[in-house]
Amino acid sequence: MKLQRKNRLRATALGALAVSGALVLTACGSDDNTESTGSGDKTAAAASNIKCDDAKGQVLAAGSSAQKNAMDLWVKNFQQACSGVEINYQPIGSGGGITKFTQGQVAFAGSDSALKPEEVTASEKICKGGKGINLPMVGGPVAIGFNVPGVDSLVLDAQTLAKIFDSKIKKWDDKAIADLNPDAKLPSTAIQAFHRSDESGTTQNLNKYLKAAAPAEWNYDDSSKSWEAKGGQAASGSSGVASSVKDTEGAIGYFELSYATASDLTTVKVDTGAGDPVEATTENASKAIAAAKVKGTGNDLALELDYATKAEGAYPIILVTYEIACDKGNKAETLPSVKAFLNYTVSDEGQKVLSEAGYAPLPTEIAAKVREIVPTLS
């Protein structure tokens, strides 16, 4: 009896361990997590390098769903290292996050696009004596995922993508698509294009790419976070778009690479005019993000990205997610925790976990500037 009881306890423990491993895989949003999941020792080592300072209590934050999978990893590691503090991040979309920030409902917001001038002005009412600033924190490719039975590789260029998302190309065997994919057996299936229903920085970055690379075909406001093109079907959040594409034959949609990986979706290779079509990978996105220039002034690090790049191996549909916080006038009760958390996310340790979740770490020079600014928040 004692032996049976020991065996039952051992089986229970092993089952709990398996569930724990599955949760880690889910949080990472990636099929390839060999480094992050084999790794109680690695996680513990990373946690031991996190400086908690005076972090305590609950911090409310909201915004970009693009960074959700990265934020899940950061929060998990930070809270493991810093007991007594809770980072509650709601992935409601960039527009929703900025609204909550300018209304004083959250300590910081995540946005895939920098604050507009009117949003900076609105933030001054909340940031007493200061204003909201843009702190780049995570980058990555906006992948174009598709679900076309019998087609496991697809090349599209900016002009063709613009016509697809504007409902001007309606069948998968359209000549424009066929010319770019001479070896593919394209069906006559109707194209089901999905876009975001909520205000989204991911939408804005796709707009910016299409406007920069296919200006004649894309006649919409590239500063808008809302979808303005004709037709198509809407879904909420990047997860909603990815799920819709996965469940719909003939579908195509846009979302961050981690969502494509999690949903096991094949992604489009983009013909930029370079030697070879470019795949949506963190490495290829990093090549494009590395060319970004700071256009913000003072402690504001808003970036200018080159969406029309033709550099070899540079994936052009990219985004950088900013954490938006007050440079001055932060709430005293949450300021220590916000600074400690952002210090971790921009640290070497915080940036290293990004590639495990399908994101691109910040270029070294930009990360260094963010590390200088975060400690000065007051």
Tell me how far CA of residue 154 lies from CA of 233, 293, 314, 343, 356, in angstroms.
21, 31, 17, 40, 25
Residue 144's CB: how many other CB atoms inside 10 A? 25
Q: Using the 8-state DSSP alphabet, how is residue 168 labeled?
A: S
Residue identified by tokens 């006559």 is: 188
Residue identified by tokens 């491993």 is: 21
In sequence order, which residues have a C-beta less than 8 Å from that of residue 88 and are 6 or more positions away? 58, 59, 60, 61
Residue identified by tokens 């076309």 is: 148
Q: Can you read off the two tokens belonging to residue 280? A: 């949506």
The Cα 69–Cα 252 span in angstroms is: 21
132-147 and 266-267 as β-strands: parallel, antiparallel, unpaired? antiparallel
Question: Which of the residues in the chain have pLDDT under 70?
Answer: 1-48
| Residue 24 pLDDT | 30
Dihedral, 49, 330, 302, 199 alpha carbons, nearest 10: 100
Residue 27's CB: how many other CB atoms inside 10 A? 18
Nearest of 323, 352, 194, 314 to residue 263 by alpha carbon: 194
The Cα 142–Cα 258 span in angstroms is: 9
| CB contact at 8 A, 268 and 155 | yes
| Residue 48 pLDDT | 63
